Amino acid sequence: MEFRKDKFEDFYEVGEEIGSGQFAVVKKCKHLKTNDEFAAKIIKKKRAMASRLGVKMEDIKKEIVILQEMDHENVIRIYEVFENKTHVILVLELVSGGELFDFIAEKERLSEEEASAFVKQILLGIKHMHSKRIAHLDLKPENVMLLNKNSQNIKLIDFGLSRVIKQGEFHRDMIGTPEFVAPEVINYDPLSLATDMWSIGIITYILLSGCSPFSGKDQQQTYEKICQLTYDFTSKYFENTSDLAKEFIGMLLKRDPLSRASVEECLNHAWIQPSEKKQSENRRKSVINIGN
Ligand SMILES: Cc1ccnnc1
């Protein structure tokens, strides 16, 4: 796989920083000929084998291959790649609405309709990834971006930890962000597409309550809570939450990856279905209630 060796700044005007990670920074950039705006993810290459700084070229290439396979409105797009001695620069679709994380922080928590609409889009993006046997493995509110400030459109970003999970192949790795990782990650058990479904359960819980079900005073306590599955809906923020929403979360926060709902089962769940179906669901239920 070859990347453009031209000087990035000869083709793009680099703008403000809009995101950053451990070994990467994301900046707004503008194509000098077309004036189109993009996001430039500038990844520092690991120089020496022994060095802990930077990202190995093989991992950078894995992220690029996965991004190039994606073609969905809820998944960030990649356009081209530049490489120089010290960095690889991914030219990505620009999403400028900020992180879902900040959107929740501003609003404390969301209505069930808003939360359901966001979760449905995350599920559609994940369905596209899972249809190609790709697991994101780092799903968290920071990696869900809003297309723009006042839109409900979201894009999944940051495929730095994503992996192709072949059927029956076991993939073990100690990765992800403590608060959002599934029990199999902590126990070094096989990871799978179901590992993403756990994270969707965590994100839904946070969208509805503003709090994180397993966060502890430190990483150790968080891991213990995850492995013991000590979570509940007793928080005062769940007082008005529907049973449907709690049932949805409950089908995802299961220790055994095989017993977790798949992305299709989630999309068919009444809490996610389009509202007209939900109304007929409620009508059906109300008829039954009158009947008995
Ligand atoms: C942070 C970010 C990443 C990709 N596109 N736009 C913004």
Percent of the chain surpassing pLDDT 90: 72
Q: Provide the residue count of the chain.
A: 292
Q: List active site positions.
A: 138
| Beta pairing, strands 37-44 & 144-146 | unpaired
Segment 112-120 shows an average pLDDT of 94
CB 83 within 8 A of CB 5: yes
The model's pTM is: 0.90
CA of 116 to the centre of ligand 1 (A): 23
Q: Whose CA is nearest to atom 1 of ligand 1?
A: 19
**Whole-number pLDDT of residue 110:** 85
- Lowest-pLDDT choice from 27-36, 37-46, 81-90, 164-173: 164-173
**Whole-number pLDDT of residue 292:** 44
Looking at the predicted structure, is the pLDDT value of residue 21 above 60?
yes
For a mutational test of ligand 1's pocket, the pick from 16, 26, 138, i.e. the residue with the most ligand atoms closer than 8 A to its C-beta, is 26
**Type of residue numbered 48:** A
Average pLDDT, the chain: 91
CA of 290 to the centre of ligand 1 (A): 51
Quick one: which of 224, 22, 257 has its CA closest to 215? Answer: 224
Report the nearest atom of ligand 1 relative to the CA of 95: 6
ipTM: 0.95
